[in-house]
Amino acid sequence: DPADMAQMPGMSMVPIKGTVRPAAVLTPFTDAMPRLADAVPTATTADADYYTINVQQSTAAIAPGALTSILSYGGGFIGPTIRATRNRRVVAKFTNSLTESVVVHLHGGHTPAASDGFPTDEIVAGGTKVNTYPNTQRAATLWYHDHLHMMEAPHVYQGLHGMYIIRDPWEDGLRLPSGRYDVPILLRDAYLNDDNSLLYDPFLDWTVVLANGKPRPYFPVAPRKYRFRFLNGSNHRAFSLTLSDGRPVVQIASDGGLLAAPVSTASIEISSAERAEVVIDFSGCAHGTQLFLQDATLGQVLRFDVTESCGADLSQVPAQLAASLPPLPAANRTRSIELSLTPDGNYFPINGQIFDPDRVDSRIALGSTEIWTITDVSGWEHNFHLHLVQFRILDVNGLAPDPTQRGWKDTVVIPKNGVVRIQASFTDYPGKYVYHCHLLEHASYTGMMATMVVA
């Protein structure tokens, strides 16, 4: 019930019922899609890069006309992209210039607990925290975002999101499209009032889709192959993306990095927080061709304009991508996770409990490999995100996962009334972490989060 939700502590800071203005009517394809800015290290040593990122209020030019007030990492609507290299540390100092607490989590990161961003590990107003990311994991597209207890949803919505890209020598050696032909794209939805202010109301349909912070932009491309790293940064919307000429796209990576082999797929399916990396080849397109990326629900999202020129395209998509993937199944313990709905319809408990950051829900032996059977009995679709590890999907409703879902994952859709089995190895970094539904309103307001202690 909207009235009930408005009473929840997290909701007091955002405009809610009674302040809804008409949604902005936006003319599509007026702006180019920006390329995300990279974070610039403040210092660099033999084995680490140091960054300072200020969490602050800011404004952004999202739609033509008035600026939009936002919460920001470093000033922009999307935080600066942190570029990391496998086995080289990133030491990120976050300063909080807001008048409220924040928590920073690196989604998909294999991170020691002290730097993971547990929901009560607050950086208070005016405070500072240094997170160390060891990057002892394969090349992958990750992202960082807010994780403050019961406030993830409004914080991320208002702009506390940024990308984090790990490279490694194996991937560099594949000669995938790189440099300016490797383009991270954060897609997310929003509700913009007609004065361009961002309205956070979970009960409205957010129908503005932003690509790198712009509503339905165009993006000039050259007639050659591009690598696009798509992140669904929406609070709860899933995207199903196709190209307007009906051709398949080649997916090369998912949440945790490269797939074993490229997969030709008719659509790019990404629920909240998931990543899909694809290669699109524009080489057959005549100069001036316009190709739309379109979502099954929201329609056109982005227009590729084949108007640039380029030299010879020496990039390739090799038939083998990942160096290796672990054997399946290989587990020494199983665990059941049940997603339900309370009879009053207000909470989605996990194994019968709503989130209590002080309680331990799952105890996991350091060094173990576990198979988790995640079952929805709530009658809703959710998605499930596990901190600390990348996992493999064994099956979905008893069937082998889609080929695009057979690599490393940290977030997986749990179909309504469905069952998904995943396998994860807890090899290092003991401590307390969370797992939760990544539909952020479920995580923030309906208790859909739990704790695990690895020891």
Q: Interface residues with ligand C2O (CB under 6 A)?
A: 105, 107, 145, 147, 273, 385, 387, 434, 436, 438
Q: Rounded to the nearest whole angstrom, what is the least distance from the CB of residue 314 to ligand C2O in the complex?
A: 36
How far apart (Å, rounded) are the C-alpha atoms in residues 349 and 281? 45
Nearest to 48 by CA among 130, 113, 108, 123: 130
* HSE-CB for 333 with a 13 A CA cutoff: 12
* Binding of Cu ion by 14 (CB under 5 A): no
Q: Give the CA diameter of the chain.
A: 62
* Binding of Cu ion by 437 (CB under 5 A): yes
Q: Rounded to the nearest whole angstrom, what is the least distance from the CB of residue 410 to ligand C2O in the complex?
A: 8
Number of residues this chain uses to bind Cu ion (CB under 5 A)? 5
Q: Which among 114-122, 222-230, 379-387, 395-403 is the span making contact with Cu ion, rule CB under 5 A?
A: 379-387
Q: Rounded to the nearest whole angstrom, what is the least distance from the CB of residue 274 to ligand C2O in the complex?
A: 10
Closest residue (Cβ) to ligand C2O?
107
Q: Rounded to the nearest whole angstrom, what is the least distance from the CB of residue 348 to Cu ion in the complex?
A: 5
Nearer to ligand C2O (CB atom), residue 109 or residue 349: 109
Q: Rounded to the nearest whole angstrom, what is the least distance from the CB of residue 415 to ligand C2O in the complex?
A: 20
User: Taking a C-beta distance cutoff of 8 angstroms, is the pair 212, 34 a contact?
Assistant: yes
How far apart (Å, rounded) are the C-alpha atoms in residues 113 and 45? 24
Q: Which among 353-361, 365-373, 382-390, 415-423 is the span making contact with Cu ion, rule CB under 5 A?
A: 382-390
What's phi and psi for 172, nearest 5 deg?
A: -55, -35
Which residues, in sequence order, are CB contacts of 140 under 8 Å at separation 6+?
108, 165, 166, 253, 255, 256, 257, 275, 390, 408
Q: Rounded to the nearest whole angstrom, what is the least distance from the CB of residue 266 to ligand C2O in the complex?
A: 27
Strand duo 182-190 + 140-146: pairing? unpaired
Nearer to Cu ion (CB atom), residue 107 or residue 442: 442
How far apart (Å, rounded) are the C-alpha atoms in residues 166 and 67? 32
Which option in ligand C2O, Cu ion, none does residue 278 bind, with CB closer than 5 to 8 A by kind?
Answer: none
* Binding of Cu ion by 153 (CB under 5 A): no
Q: Rounded to the nearest whole angstrom, what is the least distance from the CB of residue 154 to ligand C2O in the complex?
A: 15
Nearer to Cu ion (CB atom), residue 259 or residue 413: 413
As a 3-state breakdown, the chain gives helix, strand, coil percent values, each rounded to 5, of: 5, 45, 50
Which option in ligand C2O, Cu ion, none does residue 105 bind, with CB closer than 5 to 8 A by kind?
Answer: ligand C2O
* Binding of Cu ion by 439 (CB under 5 A): yes
Which option in Cu ion, ligand C2O, none does residue 439 bind, with CB closer than 5 to 8 A by kind?
Answer: Cu ion
| Interacting residue ranges for Cu ion, rule: CB under 5 A | 382, 437, 439, 442, 448
